[in-house]
Amino acid sequence: MNLIEFFREHKTAALAFSGGVDSSCLLYMAKRLGAKVKPYFVKTPFQPAFELEDAKQVAAWAGVELTVLELDILAFQDVASNPPDRCYHCKRRLFGTILEAASADGFTTLIDGTNASDDAEDRPGMKALKEVGVLSPLRLCGLTKKDIRGLAEDAGLPVRYKPSYSCLATRIEPGKPIAEEDLKRVEAAEDVLRGMGFTDLRVRKRGDAAFIQLPENEMPAALYQRKEILAGLRPYFDKVLLDLEGRDPA
């Protein structure tokens, strides 16, 4: 199956939209192929502000209306307690919220931007997608992350160079309860680092310390700006640590 065949079969659909490269590319391709696809963004404490701004920018660029839904995800204990299968429970809530709104808008099909490079074995959220009945056109059509990056560049998507981004909940140690205050501290710390020119980064909370993870190629800049980083993150964390192993580029 290819995307032409998919959207020939599914002419209308609601899209779980994050503002990332995958879902943005899917929105662009759907519109280009003549399908009626409406994007829905679920705003929770797990999404930093820039994700919503990116989603708005892409929707405006594509000429489609973005629906923003608010969900207090931390009101659910099976998410806030941060168990090993937190992602499963979170995805069930998120997609359930979109399904309810999409159904009221007349949509019966819900799609998302999961691609063929996403490993179903390592993602508890995949189980939730299957149970809810979400279709993943990029995955069904065998499109990998590399393929999608190429499509995004050819299309000139506003987010074509945006690194992959996991939600703020992943910054909290598994098994440690998730507090909105901690998510805000992490978001603020990551904003500071982005403002200093770092791009593909994570700030993980480890006790009262900020544990910074950067790709290997950005580490020299972090060491050079050590004092500036300490000063910038000091309002949010008592200690600042750097993972010298580095993280794999997105």
Domain-located, residue 112: yes
User: Does 87 reside within a domain?
Assistant: yes
The CA R_g of the chain, rounded to the nearest whole Å, is 19
**DSSP-assigned letter for residue 76:** S
Does 73 reside within a domain? Answer: yes
Is residue 199 situated within a structural domain? Answer: yes
Based on the fold, state whether residues 90 and 191 are members of the same structural domain.
no
For 116-138, write each residue's pLDDT tens digit.
Answer: 988 655 567 788 888 999 999 99
Q: Note the pLDDT of residue 141.
A: 96
Are 217 and 133 in the same domain?
Answer: no
Structure confidence at residue 246 (pLDDT): 84
Instruction: Write down which residue in 121, 155, 189 finishes a domain.
Output: 155
pLDDT digits (tens, 9 = 90+) for 222-239: 999 999 999 999 999 999
247 in a structural domain: no
Which pLDDT score, from 0 to 100, does residue 127 have? 86
Domains identified in the chain, total number: 2
pLDDT at 248: 74
H or E element: which one contains 69? strand 67-70
Query: Is the residue at 169 inside a domain?
Result: no
pLDDT tens digits, 50-70: 999 999 999 999 999 999 999
Let me know whether 41 and 95 are in one domain.
Answer: yes
164 domain-assigned:
no
- List the domain range (segments joined by +) for residue 88: 3-155
